[in-house]
Structure 1
Amino acid sequence: MSKETEIESTNEIKDNSRRNFFKLGLGAAAIAGVSATGAYASNKIESQSHKNFPVPIDPDVLKPMAQENSVWAFVSSKALGEKYPERNQNFAGGWNFQENMFSPMVGLDNSKPGMRQLDLALEIAGWAMNDTLADGSPRLAINSGVYGWEQHGLMPHKWQFESGEDANQSIKSAARLLGAARCGITRNHKVWNWDPLYDYEEEREVSWDEFPFKPKSVIVVLVDEDYEALATAPSFVSGAAIGMGYSKMATVAGSLASFVRGLGYQAVASGNDLGNSVAYAIEAGLGEGARNGHLMAPRFGPRVRIAKVYTDMELPEEAYDTPKTYGIMEFCQNCKLCAEKCPSQAITMDDEPGWEPTYENGEDPNYSWHHQRGVKKFYNDAKKCYKYWVDSGTDCAICLTACPWNKPDFWHHRLIDASNAYTGGPIHTFMKVMDELFGYGNVFDEQAVHDFWKTGKDIEV
């Protein structure tokens, strides 16, 4: 299918919403906005580079976060449930995280599009390679599968790059071939590493002294997730897109770590384990943190998964990427669409980022134990998010689907990309309204499921 045909097909689906949009008289304003910024013509993503982490931090408060305080690590460990009984007692009337983690999946319903055996089979298929190569990765399992710490294929001689630029481009070229949608390189930042680590298979803390080497650099890769599948959220089909994201994380990061070891440097691939992936992606210039807690990457929005490669390769200063901002945080302040759509009300509706959680009981450390404080950001109740996943029998993804940045290549979404770094609140609010009027970001949308199961025509000869 050609690009023109693809746009034409999607536009047909949204046609009624578009007519409503122009009936409101906003079409002319939108066109004027595009003309004023030159965004449609240049299609350029504006950004600002920073020497340091681009979000305010309090160095007296910010410390490495113990892995056991991650929601996913906690729910995966019966020993942690016994160690911290108050975490279960203080949430949702004693709702037990560990018991629900290990309970059978619910939700199969052959009368409901998106939750049928057909849809479930696709979700299982999406997760298949992750489960084969990196089972446990979503739950922060360490030293497991392709994310293991063994140094297979380590060459005895170290390749010497001609320059920092040569190193940067060579690594990124390899990452592109191996399947990365984006790649950035940053230094090892101890404050973003889980410390201590936690092995929930052996139920013990793990010191970084047990790691096979002292990391000096971290290569960060993004893999994108299928737009049409995520548009069905929450469903087994959107779960398949998330599963494919994790499967691609394992293959890309595992292959890239092998490449680095082939250059003679020690390397360990990492999914959600070892460190805060969103913070590392920000350090590597790949995007910004968003209201929903995800990374927002230009062109993709939150529709990405993040993997990392820790290595003892130390590079010249010019080889490292620097953080960039794209106006995403400012956009999130004015949008709030993900929070409005969140069925569990886990995402804050705060007008601005802050230093502490503002949700109910957020001041109680036995309730808000899962935050890395010391960063000015939007603090969300990840426990509510996790509970909805369990109760719905899906991987949710509603906040990803609702986000105006998570959209195909249409002009008003590219306007956000191109002008967002220097446009203000009124434009951001306008873009949110326009996104809804055009019919994007619908959730619980059975039509999206039907549409997805027709996308096979895109690969016909």
Structure 2
Amino acid sequence: RDVRCAALADMVTGLQTAAPWDGPTGITPPQDKGAARWEGSPEENVQMLRAALHLAGASQVGAMELNDHMLQIFDKGAVVFEDIEKGTQDEKKVYHIPQKAKYIITYTIQQNYMQSVYQLREDEAYPGKLAMPMPLGRPAIHRAYGDGRYTEWQAMRFVKNLGYHAYKAGVTTNVALGIFSGLGEQGRATYMMSPRYGLMNRITNYIITDLPLAPTAPIDFGGTKFCETCMRCAEKCPSDALGQQKEPTWDIGPGNRSGYRGWRVDWLKCIEIGAPSRCGVCHTLCPFNHPSEGIIHPVVRAVSATTPVFDSFFASMDRVFAYAEPKSHEDLEAWWTRDLNNWKPDNTHGAGTFKW
């Protein structure tokens, strides 16, 4: 094990502590300073958040209204919405949130795909599969979580400085948040996949607020349909935890929640080998991860959305062109001496189109 890689992964772990559940403290809303709080239409507010949160590091932003159906996303007994002015938490750790805070802002944090592929390796212990990851690729995951905390602080501060409440409490099904607010679809690996970033959406985070928001509708870009025939993640999973069924299912399977038709993972198998927290195989292999500046990749995305008969062919070509293959020893060593003036995978928050 290369101590440099272990040190690199630890370097970007815990970049920012999580924001308090009711947002960063020390903020005086404009109405308490003799000014009017921001007043915009629900549609204007969503566009405003997209612009602001992009600068803060969010790759996508959506919105939901908390009707009776959407309230089912919350963990049972974790949150109570009441006619109160300000949110509180009681001695039983139950969150009490004002009824007027009936909107949810959703946003995703993108993971660096090019760095992620440095996780992949082969091992005789997993014939025909990929093994548990190389440490050189782990910073991509840790950095994304650190970025997520940093973005969370900024997003909640922004909302509170507009003169509105910002809460984060009671939801652990972050994939459902992204799907219901139109940021992507569920993929075979159970994570949310988007047409632009594939499975490189490391986190779908959220803020509960009373800032009026126009809900963003769920989308169908052909991603879930693509997963029916692709099988890239399932065939290389070291624990054989990913199902190879033809279509999404109502069957729960080990360690899954009930109540929805979707892809399922055998989480007990996954956990047996120390995953998912230590495994980056399935999300790194998704063909929708590939950079858009390759001329064929936007074409594949567009065709998959309208003509799924080609999905199996596209997945086969992904194998032929050897995307997301394990790096050689020489490639791993070369990372440490790479030409940074021409290194494409780096990105800057809010800088515009992401060029790999």
For the criterion TM > 0.5, the same-fold answer is yes
Q: Residue 185 of structure 1 aligns to a residue in which SS? A: strand
**The one of 424, 434, 441 aligned to 2:324:** 441
Q: Give the distance between the partners of 1:250 and 1:403, measured in 2 at CA.
A: 25
Using the alignment, how far apart are the partners of 1:315 and 1:228 within structure 2? 38
The partner residue of 2:13 within 110, 114, 127 is: 127
- SS of 2:305's equivalent in the other structure is coil
Residue of 319, 330, 333 corresponding to 2:228: 333
Who is 2:129 aligned against? none
Alpha-carbon separation, structure 1, partners of 2:157 and 2:188: 35
> In structure 2, what is the equivalent of residue 251 of structure 1?
150
1:159–1:416 Cα change, 3 Å: farther
Which aligned pairs between 1:1-400 and structure 2 lie closer than 5 A? Answer: 109=1, 116-129=2-15, 132-134=16-18, 146-149=19-22, 152=25, 153=27, 155=29, 157=31, 159-188=37-66, 189-197=70-78, 206-207=93-94, 210-214=95-99, 215-233=101-119, 234-269=133-168, 274-315=171-212, 319-357=214-252, 362=253, 368=254, 370-389=255-274, 395-400=278-283
**Maintained 8 Å contact 1:257/1:309:** no
Larger relative helix fraction? 1
Encode CA deviations 1:202-230: one digit per residue, 9 max, x unaligned: xx9743xx334344111111121112211
Distance 1:386 1:213, change over 3 A: farther
Aligned equivalents of 1:223, 1:190: Cα separation in 2? 23
| Alignment-mate amino acid for residue 134 of structure 2 | S
Identity %: 25
**Contact map agreement 1:249 1:307 (CA 8 A) in 2:** no
- Structure 1 segment 447-458 matched on structure 2, within 5 A: 448-450=331-333, 452-458=335-341
Q: Distance in 2 between matches of 1:263 and 1:177?
A: 16
Q: Distance in 1 between matches of 2:28 and 2:102?
A: 17
Any stretches of 5+ residues in structure 1 without a counterpart?
1-108, 110-115, 135-145, 199-203, 363-367
Letter in 2 for 1:194: D
Aligned residue identity for 1:355:
W
Asked whether the equivalents of residues 178 and 184 of structure 2 are also in contact (C-alpha less than 8 Å), the reply is yes
Give the letter for the 2:284 counterpart.
T
Q: In 2, are the aligned partners of 1:298 and 1:417 still within 8 Å (CA)? A: yes
Q: Amino acid of the residue matched to residue 155 of structure 1?
A: P
Deviation at 1:450, TM superposition (A): 3.7
Q: Would the alpha carbon gap of residues 324 and 229 (structure 1) be closer, same or farther in structure 2, given more than 3 Å must change?
A: same
Secondary structure of the 1:223 match is strand
Residue 261 of structure 1, CA deviation:
0.8
Q: Cα 1:347–1:445, aligned 2, differ >3 Å: closer, same or farther?
A: farther
Give the TM-score of the pair, scaled to structure 2. Answer: 0.79
Give the whole-Å Cα distance in 2 for the aligned partners of 1:458 and 1:151. Answer: 37
The answer (yes or no) to whether the contact 1:256–1:309 under 8 Å persists in 2 is: no
Q: Which has the higher contact order (CA 8 A, sep 6+)?
A: 1
Superposed CA RMSD in Å reads 2.5
The answer to whether the 8 Å contact 1:416/1:431 transfers is: yes
CA contact (8 A) 2:62 2:216 kept: yes
Q: Secondary structure at the match of 1:325?
A: coil
| Preserved CA contact (<8 Å) 1:231 1:448 | no
> Are 2:289 and 1:406 equivalent residues in the alignment?
yes
Deviation at 1:454, TM superposition (A): 4.6
The one-letter code of the counterpart of 1:415 is V
Kept in 1, the 8 Å contact 2:167–2:209? The answer is no
TM-score (norm 1): 0.62
Kept in 2, the 8 Å contact 1:389–1:395? The answer is yes
**Letter of the 1:282 counterpart:** I
Q: Work out whether residues 116 and 280 of structure 2, in 8 Å CA contact, stay in contact via their aligned partners in 1.
A: yes
Contact 1:401 1:442 in 2 (8 A): no
Structure 2: segments with no counterpart, 5+ residues: 80-90, 120-132, 344-356
Alignment-mate amino acid for residue 148 of structure 2: M
Partner of 1:18: none
Residue aligned with 1:211, SS? strand
How far residue 340 of structure 1 moved from its aligned partner, in angstroms, is 0.3
Is 2:165–2:211's contact at 8 Å kept on the other side of the alignment?
no
Structure 2 partner of 1:422: 306
Bigger Cα Rg: 1
Give the Cα separation in 2 of the matches to 1:155 and 1:397. Answer: 42
